[in-house]
Chains A and B, each alone.
Chain A
Amino acid sequence: GAGVSQSPSNKVTEKGKDVELRCDPISGHTALYWYRQSLGQGLEFLIYFQGNSAPDKSGLPSDRFSAERTGGSVSTLTIQRTQQEDSAVYLCASSLAVEGGYTFGSGTRLTVV
């Protein structure tokens, strides 16, 4: 597609529920990244995928977080048993190569109540 597409744009969930966030990167971009941004804060790295290589999961804050990328394209970030501290904007980005700059999607605003 023309840009990085994320869905849903907003998600309100009850504490303890599982949520899935979707990212559709720019066509042809081999690298895909997930970050989150809490209110007034910088971007916190979560995970990235590069081609067929094993993903770099070093930023995932707990084992409640997982992500997969199917067919080298669409990615899903799953948060199990959500907690209030998971409330943030979850941003997905893609790049043509690992060395280049990233193009971000518009994000998913997650609110855990």
Chain B
Amino acid sequence: QKEVEQNSGPLSVPEGAIASLNCTYSDRVSQSFFWYRQYSGKSPELIMSIYSNGDKEDGRFTAQLNKASQYVSLLIRDSQPSDSATYLCAVKGGRRALTFGSGTRLQVQP
């Protein structure tokens, strides 16, 4: 079992719709959770961080964390073609470095 699991996609949504990206993790002592966006040929950029159960909103992005279910999600409202990218979930536990999932490719259709 991978430590951080994501559906590879592609997840295809029409422009203006809500995109829902999901991630599960195996280490129960994980404390910090991050979402990175990676455009093709570019390096990952941090878009959201979440540390406690519940929702955290930042503009069109909402991160959701459920530690009991070991589940993190990212919602993108009013999806735009410019949101088309691979979204990487990353998890941190203890003094270890971030562990990344393999990413979900999102395609927003104009």
Q: Which residues of A approach B to under 8 Å, CB–CB? A: 33, 35, 41-43, 45, 48, 50, 56, 59, 91, 98-107
Supposing A42-B101, A42-B103 touch, asked if A101 and B34 sit within 8 A by C-beta, the answer is: yes
Q: Measured between C-beta atoms, what is the minimum distance from B11 to chain A in Å?
A: 16
Please name all residues of chain B whose beta carbon is closer than 8 Å to the beta carbon of A103 when the two chains form the complex. Answer: 46
Query: Top 4 A-B pairs ranked by shortest CB distance?
Result: A42-B102, A43-B100, A104-B43, A101-B46
In whole angstroms, how far apart are the Cα atoms of A27 and B98 in the complex?
21
Task: List 30 interface pairs A-B (beta carbons < 8 Å), by A numbering.
Answer: A33-B97, A33-B98, A35-B100, A41-B102, A42-B88, A42-B100, A42-B102, A42-B103, A43-B44, A45-B97, A45-B98, A48-B97, A50-B95, A56-B95, A56-B96, A56-B97, A59-B97, A98-B95, A99-B31, A99-B92, A100-B49, A101-B34, A101-B46, A102-B46, A102-B98, A103-B46, A104-B44, A105-B43, A106-B43, A107-B43
Report chain B residues within 8 Å CB of A42. Answer: 88, 100-103
Looking across the interface, which residue of chain B has its beta carbon closest to that of A58? Answer: B96
Tally of contact residues, B, Cβ under 8 A: 20
Most B C-beta atoms less than 10 A away, residue of A43, A56, A98 = A43
Q: From residue A109, how far is it (CB to closest CB) to chain B in Å?
A: 9
A101 to B45, CA, bound (A): 10
B32 proximal to A (CB < 8 A): yes
CB distance from A60 to the nearest CB of B (A): 12
Tell me the residues in window 16-42 of chain B with beta carbons closer than 8 Å to chain A beta carbons. Answer: 31-32, 34, 42
Q: Out of A43, A59, A99, A107, which one reaches B32, CB within 8 Å?
A: A99
Tell me whether A45 and B92 are in contact (CB under 8 A): no
B73: which A residues are within 8 A, CB to CB?
none
Contacts A106-B42, A106-B43 aside, 11 further interface pairs with beta carbons under 8 A come to A33-B97, A35-B100, A43-B44, A45-B100, A56-B96, A98-B95, A99-B92, A101-B49, A102-B98, A103-B46, A104-B45
